[in-house]
Amino acid sequence: MRLLVFASGRGSNFEAIVEASKKNYLHSQVIGLLCDKECPAMEIAKKNSIPVSIIKPKDYQDKSIYIKTLLDVIKRYKPDYIILAGYMRILPAELIDEYPLKVINIHPSLLPQFPGKDSIAKAWDSGVKITGVTVHYVNDRMDAGPIIAQEFLKISDNMKKSSGLEKLENKIHKIEHRIYPASIKKLTEEPFDTLVVSKCLTGVNCRYDGGSKLSKRVKTFIKNFNGKIVDICPELEAGFDVPRPTTDIINGKAMMKGVGDITEKLENACNKIISRLSGSKKILAILKEKSPSCGVRSPKGIFASCVEKTLNVEKGSGVFIVSEEDL
Ligand code: GRF
């Protein structure tokens, strides 16, 4: 796989990825480094004969020209994944539209705690007893995409006594340099073989209100997905055609207006769908957050909880469930 790394700073994570690739731990190549300013990471690239591109947003008065330039440069590298390694900027929505679930980031806290800058110091100052590192997919909001991996680190009372913040930073970076290459390895070498996707996100008119919503990012992801695609709508599968009354989750039960409790019907439909996934090893499910049947809203949608019960998997192992809103 072709990895394009983005960095703005010291580049120690970039270096860890380059080393992992050189040692053949990663069977992927770092094909370029893209920076938003001159920074020490560029020296590491030069030492390793990795091409560098610098795109400084402040050089562009017109934001749309900046975005177009950025996208054109990225396209030339033909990356399979874009890896953020200390890139201190929120990416434009247009970039995520082109590369949905193909951009990942590492963050030195247990997200959603302490997003943004200076997270290690923020965790330290807050007095939390546990902090850590998060690897996540990137969307166009700050440190907010679906979480891929987290590692916890206890802040011990001992650490508190003796010049602790610096020690904590070192420990956090040590974890980062191990889990970032490991997460990239898993993503690139054990790809999802099956994509489960809510029918309404593919443009099928299956929603309770008869409307359909075609998500641009889901559409792009489907176009590039290399594997089996299973589109689902538990309501349709349960025999409720469109247009149909709204269903709401009330006290954990799926209540259809004017019809009543349809939980069991939806569960049966979900289990039928799940039985079609039996040959799949690694499943990605992109669901509609606001759908009570397939979605992942709170309390969880029926499909998500049937997956958990039936396949007995945790998020991050055999089935990775994300909501369209988080892409
Ligand atoms: C790391 O702590 C990373 O988690 C965060 O920015 C820092 C970059 O450090 N996103 P480096 O430039 O990789 O040394």
Query: Can you give the pLDDT at residue 297?
Result: 53
Atom 4 of ligand 1: nearest residue by CA position: 107
Highest average pLDDT, of 93-97, 271-275, 313-317, comes from: 93-97
**Dihedral sign from CA coordinates of 280, 288, 314, 98:** positive
Query: Can you give the pLDDT at residue 193?
Result: 93
* Cβ–Cβ < 8 Å for 84, 104: yes
Q: What share of the chain has pLDDT > 90, as a percent?
A: 70
Q: Which atom of ligand 1 is nearest to the CA of 8?
A: 12
Query: Can you give the pLDDT at residue 250?
Result: 86
Is 90 exceeded by the pLDDT of residue 265? yes
Atom 6 of ligand 1: nearest residue by CA position: 86
Mean pLDDT of 21-37: 97
Report CA(10)–ligand 1 centroid distance (Å).
Answer: 8
Mean pLDDT of 135-141: 96
Query: Can you give the pLDDT at residue 210?
Result: 66
CATH H superfamily, domain 2-189:
Formyl transferase, N-terminal domain (3.40.50.170)
User: pTM here?
Assistant: 0.92
**Domain coordinates of the chain in residue numbers?**
2-189, 194-326
Is 50 exceeded by the pLDDT of residue 316? no
Active site residue 27: no
Mean pLDDT of 176-189: 97
DSSP character for 228?
Answer: E
What H or E segment, with its residue span, contains residue 153? strand 147-154
Query: Can you give the pLDDT at residue 170?
Result: 95
SS3 content of the chain, % helix, strand, coil (to 5): 40, 25, 40
Is 90 exceeded by the pLDDT of residue 120? yes
Classified as helix, coil or strand, 301 is coil
DSSP string computed for 45-79? HHHTT--EEE--GGG-SSHHHHHHHHHHHHHHH--
15 lines ligand 1 (CB under 6 A): no
Is 80 exceeded by the pLDDT of residue 289? no
What the block records as the tokens of 37 is 């300013």
**Dihedral sign from CA coordinates of 123, 124, 130, 133:** positive
* Catalytically annotated residue among 107, 136, 173, 177: 107
Instruction: Give the whole-angstrom CA distance, residue 290 versus residue 302.
Output: 12
Query: Can you give the pLDDT at residue 209?
Result: 66
11 lines ligand 1 (CB under 6 A): yes
Atom 1 of ligand 1: nearest residue by CA position: 86
Mean pLDDT of 112-140: 95
Query: Can you give the pLDDT at residue 244?
Result: 87
Amino acid at 253: K
